[in-house]
């Protein structure tokens, strides 16, 4: 240990050493130790019990994939087709749905990316906006709209088919199938954005050479374009798989308890003892292992391949072709309806928020009363206040870590900083449910009866700390990108003139990367406001009253099944969407930091 300290002090000045120490200590306390706590609690529970319990793993399917039956509905003879999904236990169900979601989202995202990256047609900008519309986070209410859309009784699709078109059948999607559909509609833009970025970075001369050798159409795409786009496709697919595994909103909306995320959520705290369930910790550990395995596995697969592109220097112009009549027909009659359909949940949020009621297939009336209830209802207004307080407080810690850690990584010349870089960016791949379980056990055990104990003093501080770690990568990535553009010679010149490292950081570096810091912190703040998994688990520990500690997303979940509750949830969703749109505009249009909002 003394030799290590001497080595560090030789290669690092006092500012870099303080930043390294602070960043490492905070990441250990707020990330590593809570995750190790999950491992410790899970070790007290025989993991083989999970795989021997048919609740979690079953070789014999339960339920039915779909049902078809005929009957009289509203005075007409109709045939009802409902897609439900077969259950193989929570673990296998989660893996199956994550796989289906990933494959479907990858196919849709790649097709959308190919069309928007390689072809020119009127209205292309509007298509790009529609393709990213599902990324606007509206926890719970977007899945609720999807559920209503596919309801066989009063759903919009059944109404159009049966009541408007006069066809003698109605369709519905629910249960496990409903969760899969909701996740596909929500997550496919992640693949699209990553694949689109990869396609735009392909040297056009490579595709031109392939065409000269006879590769055209699908063969060109299969042999050249797609292989060179694999880094984006792999990254997007990995994130979709992880997000599907940890998604708790869709299972709650569809009341689908046969999934890992829902099992962790319902077994988070045993109500009678206030102790963490070892079974929940085991499921959380399994979820963590699955997420990290997929993330590192796909990352290794991509890095083992070569994607180098040779060019003569300078910037190239991506290959864009004009579509013919057949292509335009496919885009406007195929792709456009698909994108409109995928964006319907976000549109439905506004419909719910501004309609008096929406009990049938169509909304009725127009009102601003639901939005006004946000300030009138003390439970809802308190949740808005809590989320703002938590998000701003978390932002302070995010800025401290998000500037210190990337600066050390970019400027310090010592080995092992790759591990610090991994810790800073790893929260992207760590499910929030796992982090919530780790926080609960770690802080209730080692900080019992202190202000960090959520049982004794409420969950406020834990939520702030969880937000700061969960959304740290957005700011850290933006700051690191800015540091890559600041030549170290500028700092050396400042220090040669007598300024110390800290003064150079404050007076030279931060002003140069100010836009990166601002854009990254704005994105982190917005994602803190809409954080779901840690909010719905930790947020309910303090109880619900007029002075409750729960954030917006917990109250959204709490109001979902109450009479008139979806309209309140949608109103809160409108607030979140407005914040996100304002941030997108500011970051991408005003600050010109186009990479910051994506965060993937």
Q: Is the separation of the CB atoms in 185 and 220 below 8 Å?
A: no
pLDDT digits (tens, 9 = 90+) for 562-572: 888 899 999 99
**Domains identified in the chain and CATH numbers:** 2-39+371-590 (1.10.3720.10), 66-308+326-360 (1.10.3720.10)
**Is the model's pLDDT at 599 over the cut of 90?**
no
Whose tokens are 């005075």? That residue is 75
DSSP string covering 398-466, please? HHHHHHHHHHHHHH---TTHHHHHHHHHGGGTS-HHHHHHHHHHHHHHHSTTSTT-HHHH-SHHHHHHH
pTM value is 0.90
The CA distance from 55 to 77, in Å, is: 38
What phi and psi values does residue 273 have, to the nearest 5 degrees?
-105, -20
pLDDT digits (tens, 9 = 90+) for 428-452: 889 999 999 999 989 988 888 888 8
Band (107; pLDDT cuts 50, 70, 90): very high
Among 49-58, 165-174, 313-322, 512-521, the range scoring the smallest mean pLDDT is: 313-322
The first and second tokens of residue 593, run together, are: 């930091």
pLDDT digits (tens, 9 = 90+) for 25-65: 999 999 999 999 999 888 887 777 788 888 899 888 888 99
Percent share of the chain, pLDDT over 90:
45
pLDDT of residue 414: 83
pLDDT digits (tens, 9 = 90+) for 178-222: 999 999 999 999 999 889 988 888 877 777 777 777 777 778 878
pLDDT of residue 597: 40
DSSP string covering 214-242, please? T--THHHIIIIIHHHTHHHHHHHHHHHHH
**Is the model's pLDDT at 486 over the cut of 80?**
yes
Highest mean pLDDT (candidates 99-113, 225-239, 485-499, 573-587): 99-113
What phi and psi values does residue 79 have, to the nearest 5 degrees?
-105, 125
Percent share of the chain, pLDDT over 70:
92
Band (22; pLDDT cuts 50, 70, 90): very high
What phi and psi values does residue 420 have, to the nearest 5 degrees?
-65, -40
How confident is the prediction for the chain on average, in pLDDT? 86
């Amino acid at each position: 240990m003394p030799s290590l300290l001497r080595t560090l002090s030789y290669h690092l000045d006092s500012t870099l050493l303080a930043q390294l120490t602070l960043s490492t200590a905070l990441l250990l306390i707020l990330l590593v130790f809570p995750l190790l706590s999950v491992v410790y609690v899970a070790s007290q529970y025989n993991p083989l019990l999970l795989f021997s319990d048919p609740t979690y793993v079953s070789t014999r399917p339960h339920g039915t994939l779909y049902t078809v039956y005929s009957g009289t509905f509203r005075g007409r003879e109709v045939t009802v087709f409902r897609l439900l999904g077969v259950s193989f236990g929570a673990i296998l169900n989660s893996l199956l749905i994550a796989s289906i979601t990933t494959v479907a989202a990858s196919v849709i995202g790649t097709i959308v990316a190919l069309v928007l990256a390689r072809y020119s047609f009127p209205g292309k900008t509007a298509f790009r906006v529609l393709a990213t519309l599902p990324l606007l986070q509206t926890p719970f209410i977007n899945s609720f709209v999807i559920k209503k859309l596919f309801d066989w009784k009063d759903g919009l699709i059944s109404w159009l088919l049966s009541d408007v078109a006069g066809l003698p059948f109605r369709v519905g999607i629910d249960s496990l199938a409903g969760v899969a559909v909701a996740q596909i509609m929500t997550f496919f833009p992640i693949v699209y954005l990553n694949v689109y970025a990869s396609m735009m970075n392909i040297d056009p001369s490579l595709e031109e050479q392939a065409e000269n050798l006879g590769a055209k159409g699908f063969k060109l795409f299969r042999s050249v374009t797609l292989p060179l786009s694999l880094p984006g496709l792999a990254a997007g697919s990995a994130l979709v798989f992880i997000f599907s595994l940890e998604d708790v909103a869709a299972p709650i909306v569809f009341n689908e308890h046969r999934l890992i995320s829902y099992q962790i959520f319902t077994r988070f705290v045993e109500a009678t003892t206030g102790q963490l369930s070892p079974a929940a910790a085991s499921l959380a550990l399994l979820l963590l292992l699955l997420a990290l395995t997929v993330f590192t596995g796909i990352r290794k697969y991509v890095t083992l391949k070569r994607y180098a592109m040779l060019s003569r220097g300078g910037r190239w112009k991506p290959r864009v072709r004009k579509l013919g009549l057949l292509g335009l027909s496919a885009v406007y009659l195929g792709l456009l309806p698909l994108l409109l359909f995928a964006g319907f949940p976000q549109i439905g949020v506004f419909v719910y928020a501004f309609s008096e009621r929406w009990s049938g297939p169509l909304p009725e009336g127009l009102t601003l009363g639901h939005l006004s209830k946000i300030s009138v209802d003390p439970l809802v207004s308190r949740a808005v206040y809590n989320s703002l307080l938590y998000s701003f407080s978390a932002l302070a810690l995010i800025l401290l870590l998000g500037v210190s850690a990337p600066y050390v990584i970019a400027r310090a010349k010592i080995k092992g900083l790759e591990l610090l870089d991994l810790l800073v960016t790893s929260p992207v791949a760590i499910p929030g449910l796992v982090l919530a379980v780790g926080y609960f056990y770690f802080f209730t055990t080692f900080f019992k009866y202190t202000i960090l104990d959520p049982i004794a003093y409420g969950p406020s501080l834990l939520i702030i700390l969880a937000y700061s770690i969960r959304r740290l990568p957005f700011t850290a990535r933006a700051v690191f990108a800015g540091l890559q553009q600041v030549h170290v010679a500028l700092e050396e010149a400042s220090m040669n003139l007598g300024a110390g490292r800290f003064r150079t950081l404050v007076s030279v570096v931060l002003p140069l990367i100010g836009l990166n810091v601002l854009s990254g912190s704005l994105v982190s703040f917005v994602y803190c406001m809409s954080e779901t998994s840690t909010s719905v688990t930790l947020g309910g520990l303090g109880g619900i009253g007029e002075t409750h500690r729960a954030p917006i997303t917990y109250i959204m979940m709490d109001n979902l099944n109450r009479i008139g509750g979806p309209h309140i949830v949608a109103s809160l969703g409108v607030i979140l969407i407005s914040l996100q749109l304002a941030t997108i505009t500011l970051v991408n249009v005003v600050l010109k930091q186009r990479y910051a909002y994506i965060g993937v």
